[in-house]
């Protein structure tokens, strides 16, 4: 069997790349080891910057129908339980099991062939050029050749490791856990609650670690609840997600406010989250890596959907021409590096500044929240607007090359 392009991984990155390639008339096979629809650990947010891609994929209305909350406000609580408020450009909270599957089905409607329960074990490489994949399917080993392979198989990618492209900085890794709860009290409609880990936590050390509580489906007491914590702090605390959650609920004002009487719908489930401050090398001869497989989530919140989908759109725009020319050398594929970085690089720089100068800085964070409350339009400034104002006015940082385009 021979295909023009095989895309390994049907999450937002892989499905978006497959969609744009199919629309350009490319023969695409999309494969995934999971049975779809599948779940993924995440805060379930799709940022408004993605709406243009949703429109192009013909899925905007379907995504909109599945919105569990159209959040336009954010409450941020510092480690000492002080509240600061911001507005949000409305972002959609949609459970990933639903939203990601809508994106996948958008690719299928564009003409993409899809096989799930298809576990790719390794890339076929001849004379240094990727030529296809070897996989297990229906309890049999199968080989499928292709002109190009797009690797979008997630943060535990064995394929990006095979290519020598997986570069991970342990300082940038986080662990995330998410669950769904009922009987969550005092929720504000369409409001995201982001709460830094409390300074009273045993073994506490300041870091950009937080708990989130987001209302679902306008139902007064249902919520998506999660924890995001850097790997080094998670190891230092020597506590499980459940133990951190229980401490927060039992020993803090906001834990008591929201979750003292909560009941579990789906328990907290964890996952390791990659991150980066700049785009790692994403290409090899005959292959491109995208999304979590190449640590694409940004460093501040480790949000990965937006950079992955925008990078995949770039792939869909550039690859058809390479396929026509028939040049699958590493030099030919190097075009992806600069073109993707041009689109998502400014957001990486901005997120890196945000983490280093604000969320990860114990001395500066309280001053930032005070500054936010003194803004003329408080509480109507967006979080990014407040961050940019603080960095330029208080810290004198030139953000000319780091103005966020996608994280709005």
Residues 332-367: pLDDT tens digits?
A: 999 999 999 999 999 898 888 888 888 899 999 999
2-38+49-66+96-168+275-348: CATH topology: FAD/NAD(P)-binding domain (3.50.50)
At residue 35's C-alpha, the angle toward residues 14 and 103, to 5°, is: 35
pLDDT surpassing 90 at residue 238 = no
Q: Identify the residue whose tokens are 């830094």.
A: 196
Please give the Cα distance from 364 to 381 (Å, whole number). Answer: 19
Please give the Cα distance from 310 to 279 (Å, whole number). Answer: 13
Question: Which pTM value belongs to this model?
Answer: 0.93
pLDDT surpassing 90 at residue 42 = no
> What's the pLDDT at 202?
92
Domain ranges of the chain: 2-38+49-66+96-168+275-348, 171-273, 352-394
Q: How many Cα atoms occupy the beta-carbon half-sphere of 310 within 13 Å?
A: 27
Cβ contacts of residue 55 below 8 Å, gap of 6+? none
Other C-beta atoms lying within 10 Å of the C-beta of residue 373: 15
Closest CA to 13 of 363, 295, 241: 295
Cβ contacts of residue 284 below 8 Å, gap of 6+? 130, 163, 164, 165, 330, 333
Please give the Cα distance from 250 to 315 (Å, whole number). Answer: 48
> What's the pLDDT at 35?
94
389: burial class by Cβ within 10 Å (0-12, 13-18, 19+)? middle
Residue 313 · residue 22 · CB < 8 Å: no
Q: What is the CATH number of domain 171-273?
A: 3.30.9.100
Residues 271-301: pLDDT tens digits?
A: 888 888 899 999 999 999 999 999 888 888 7
324: burial class by Cβ within 10 Å (0-12, 13-18, 19+)? exposed
> What's the pLDDT at 68?
87
């Amino acid at each position: 069997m021979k295909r023009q392009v095989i895309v390994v991984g049907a999450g937002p990155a892989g499905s978006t790349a497959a969609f744009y390639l199919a629309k350009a008339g490319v023969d695409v096979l999309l494969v995934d080891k999971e049975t779809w629809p599948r779940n993924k650990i995440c805060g379930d947010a799709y940022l408004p910057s993605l709406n243009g891609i949703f429109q192009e994929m013909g899925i905007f209305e379907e995504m909109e129908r599945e919105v569990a909350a159209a959040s336009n406000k954010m409450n941020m609580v510092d480690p000492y339980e002080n509240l600061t408020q911001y507005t949000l450009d409305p972002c959609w909270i949609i459970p990933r099991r639903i939203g990601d599957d809508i994106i996948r089905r958008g690719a299928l409607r564009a003409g993409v062939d899809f096989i799930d329960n298809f576990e790719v074990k390794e890339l076929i490489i001849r004379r240094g050029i990727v030529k296809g994949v070897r996989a297990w399917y229906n309890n049999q080993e199968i080989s499928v050749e292709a002109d190009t392979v797009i690797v979008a198989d997630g943060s535990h990618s064995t394929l990006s490791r095979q290519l020598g492209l997986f570069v991970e900085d342990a300082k940038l890794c986080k662990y995330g856990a998410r669950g769904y709860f009922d009987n969550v009290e005092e929720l504000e409609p369409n409001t995201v609650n982001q709460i830094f880990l409390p300074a009273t936590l045993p073994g506490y050390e300041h870091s950009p670690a937080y708990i989130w509580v987001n209302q679902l489906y306008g139902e007064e007491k249902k919520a998506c609840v999660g924890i995001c914590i850097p790997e080094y702090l998670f190891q230092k605390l020597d506590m499980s997600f459940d133990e951190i959650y229980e401490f927060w609920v039992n020993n803090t004002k906001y834990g008591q406010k929201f979750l003292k009487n909560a009941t579990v719908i789906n328990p907290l489930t964890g996952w390791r989250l990659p991150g980066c401050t700049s785009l790692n090398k994403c290409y090899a001869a005959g292959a491109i890596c995208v999304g979590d497989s190449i640590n694409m989530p940004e460093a501040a919140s480790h949000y990965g959907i937006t950079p992955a989908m925008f990078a995949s759109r770039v792939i869909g725009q550039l690859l058809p021409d390479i396929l026509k020319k028939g040049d699958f050398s590493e030099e030919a594929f190097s075009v992806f590096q600069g073109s993707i970085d041009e689109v998502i690089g400014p957001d990486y720089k901005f997120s890196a500044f945000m983490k280093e100068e604000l969320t990860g800085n114990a001395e500066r964070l309280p001053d930032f929240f005070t500054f936010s409350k003194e803004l003329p339009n408080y509480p109507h400034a967006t979080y990014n607007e407040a961050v940019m104002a603080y960095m330029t006015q208080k810290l004198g940082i030139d953000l000319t090359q780091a103005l966020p385009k996608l994280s709005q």
